Each structure stands twice: as structure tokens, then as C-alpha cells.
Structure 1
């Protein structure tokens, strides 16, 4: 997924002081581009919290009628210094990238793309998709791995039950279920489905921060309520999470990870460590986007099917000043 804001902010992300109680992060609505674009709900990053572990970006979209929206028709666009995590609740997307990958993104299946030193990809809703619904997540790569070679991994996690809850672990490990997909820092990603009025107890890694992104339903975590579209942040230190469902069925995405003790700079689709580095990433993309699309470039070789790619927005006038 691309961040298609016309004037994206330059964001200096750094670990944020944690409170002992869960914190409710409410989404802001962001149009994903195009004259008929439906808005997506963005809960990361925001001023009060930039990161949950290495998770640095969370967009939650749909259910969207694809016949009335251009929401997920995203031509080729670049990524550096991050991994993209695509997880759908409904619908199907076609993924194509500059390392030769052709893959479908389906509900209940993980597509993870590692940008590393630089990659570009496109995402389009398939013709047989009438409703699109899911989340797009980004993971910041740590300093040691942020220039690794790009790669792509696909995984179909087997669902399992804990009491009345149905769980699918697509990254990391939870309650005895583990994903084989590689990450550069310890992470957790899982879909949770709870029946109304139920309570789910989970054993979790106490070194992890956690976030519960609510798709539908109402929950209470340590007495703190959350509802549709909100993300509940739980600081590190908990060995167990207890999630109580309200009167509606609950579907949520559980995110977790060891705190990333690094400052990152995020702008548009790039993650770097300085303003000047972001300027270089943008310049390399613009040069390749405006050149012969069939030539190899810093972001790989564009697929023959690409007739157009997304140009980068203009950089802001102000130079990034690191936060104290």
C-alpha cells in the first residue's frame, strides 16, 4: 500500500514513554487517493505514539464497495527501509513487484514484502472482488537490516481455537502457534475473533508492547474500553492479556513486538534516519519513474504490465529537525 497523501508530513518517530494502563489510540481519516477514493482509518503513527514494537504504520479500510471506489487501485510505488504486511478480511488483491513477484492477497492469507534497500510494487483489486476489507501495516527495519535485499513471502496461517475464540497467527508466536515468516525484530501479528459476551485470555511475551486494532465489536482490556476502528496500546510488562467482548462479535488484529530503540524518519513510502536520506530516496525514485520503465534502476525492474507509476509528492519546505 502507498501513502497517497498529497502533502505527507515528515515524521520523526521514536520510542514513546509508556503508561501502566492501556491507552486508546483513535484513528484519523485519510483519503487513499483518486477522485472517488474512500477514506482509510489510520491509527499509526500519531502524535501520542509513533511505534508499537517495530510496527510503525497501520491503515484500516473497508468494507468498501469496489464498484464505487478507486480505493485499492494503486499503481507502482516504492518502499525503502520497511516491510509491508497485507492482511485482508474480505476481497482479493493482485500484487506485482520489481523483484518478479506475482501474488494474490486473499482473506486470511499473509503477504509480507521486505523493501530493504528499495523495491516497488502495485496493488489492484481483482475483477471478482466486490467488497474489499482489511488492514495494511508497516514494520520499520532496524539499522542492521534496513538495506538488505528485497524479498517477498506468502503464508496461510492455520486457524485454531482458544475457548470460543478463533485465532490466526500470521507473524511470530502465540498460544503455541508460530508463523515461519521472517522478521528482523521479534514481532507478533494475529487475527482474533470473539463471540459476544466472551472473555479471551492470552499468554504473551512480557518484553513486548502490544496493540489491539478493533475492526468490529466492543472490548474491554484491563477495564479500558475500545470500539470499532480504535487501537488499544498495552505497554510492555504483561505476561497475559484478558480481552472481554461486548454484545457484538469482535474481530481484531493483535500486534506486538519488542520496543524498537531507534529513531526513524518516515515520509511518504520511505523510512530512513535523516531528512537528507529521505530526499535521496525520493530523488532515486523520481529519476527511475521518469526514465525508461524497462530499464533496471535503484528500485528494481518495472514489470511489463506497468503503464504508469505514482510520482512522489514534493518534499516539504521545512528541513526536518529531530525531536529532543
Structure 2
């Protein structure tokens, strides 16, 4: 009777032990598989070998373009650059602001447990020791051309194990460039592209992102042969005599801050020098401030929007 009474209990116990063993084996296989994944080794734009034990899960971007690309690739963005222009990158409304490439906030990055920090080659190399001291890795890139942006997309795709997605984003940008090229008609407009902040105005050169977009859109950069500034090699000092000689048909202003304030300041500068009043762009009221989120910073995957905006502006000019 005792054996008959305990038989079902014994059977249940044996089943439980078997299930436990199977479950433990399953968990062990998953753990072993995760451990077997190879570590990531990236070569950033500074030629540095950056190693990660696995795909970064707490990514901090010091620039808007880098943040945009990570979002587009479906990466785990936990920190974004502090906005000074009042615009918020779509999809990052609830993400903490952590300073900028100019001024990195280590405390916030440490709080967010950042494991990958996306910085700028020219500005953030000096910050590598501090970033590594809090257990994060710095990945340095830059965006001085549309080609640079596609290289960023490729690199971040490797970092996130999202290579096919990165290839598609790059293909979309290439398609946008071809569309812009095919839509160009007529004579190329002469353009002065200015980077402005209150009291500071520089001409953007072809080796700047804005200058590259300008040429891809079909414009002629009148400052193409201006000598580059030593501290800002993508820009040059405005030369009134040379601007008058080139006689730009349109003046475009890029800025990080308040576009209206910058435009007013630039127009005041022009009024102080009567020579500007004879320039075609001024005579025909063709001084435009470009959107800060597309031209005041690296727009990331939205670079095709910036390109199309200039194509449309040039088409309007041609139609006048």
C-alpha cells in the first residue's frame, strides 16, 4: 500500500528533476552561445582600434548627426548632445542631454553607464583618457562631407551589428545624390555660404559639410579658393573685395543658434559697408538662413533633406 501511495509522487519528482535538468542545459547553452560571440573591433576615423566585448547597450552621442544615425539603426541611445538651437532630434525627446563635443559632461555619461561615446576627431581626442576612466570607449568620427556621413553609417552599423540596415541607409543617401544631380538644369548659381554666429561670420569652403552639400546641389561656391583658417580649416575669412568681384546671386547663412539674430547681425554688417549693397544677392533680397537642424550641425541620415532644400532654392532662383 505504501508503494502504491507514493508511486505518483515519485513519478512527479522524477519529471521535475528532468525538466530542471533540461532547463539548466538550455540556459547553459544560451550563456555559452553569448560568451562565444566574438568581441567587436572597430577602426574609427582617427585610425584607432576600439574594442568592445559585445554590441554597446548604452550609447552616448556628442553630436546630433551621430545621434540620428544610431536612432535610424535602432541602437540603444541613452545620451544626446545638449541643444542650443531649440530643436529636438525626432525620436530623442526623452533622452538625457549630456553636453556637447565642446564640453563633455562626464558625470552624466557615468550616470547613464555609457559604454560607447561617439565623439569628433578634431575636438574629442583629448577627452579619451577621461572617457576611459569611467569605463566607456570613445569612437571618433567626423562629418566634413556627405561621404563622411556614409562612412559614419557604415562604422556604426558594424558597431551595432546592423550592417544590412547601414547599407540601406547609405544606398538611400546615394539615391538622393543621384536625384539631385538629375534635377539640375541651367546655369549653376554663384553662392556665398556663410557660417554665422553673432559677431562672427566665415565663408564655408568646399571641404566643409555645407560646402560639399552646396556643390552636390549644383551651386558654385564663390569662396572655393579662399585661404583656409588655421584653426578652422573648413572655413575662411570673408573678403569683401573678393565677394564683390564674384558677385554672388544668393547668400546662404548657416548657424547653430537663433537664425533671425544671426541674419540681423549679418545684414547690419553689410549695411556698414556700402559695397555689399551692389551685390546681386542683396539687390534681389536673396539672403537666406538655412535650417539649423540641417546645416548648423551634421544632419546624419537627413543629409538628403538638406541637399533637396538647396536644389529647390536654386530652382526658385532659376525661375525668377
The normalised TM-score by structure 2 is 0.25
Higher relative contact order (CA 8 A, sep 6+): 1
Compare CA radii of gyration and give the structure with the larger one: 2
The structure carrying a bigger helix percent of its residues is 2
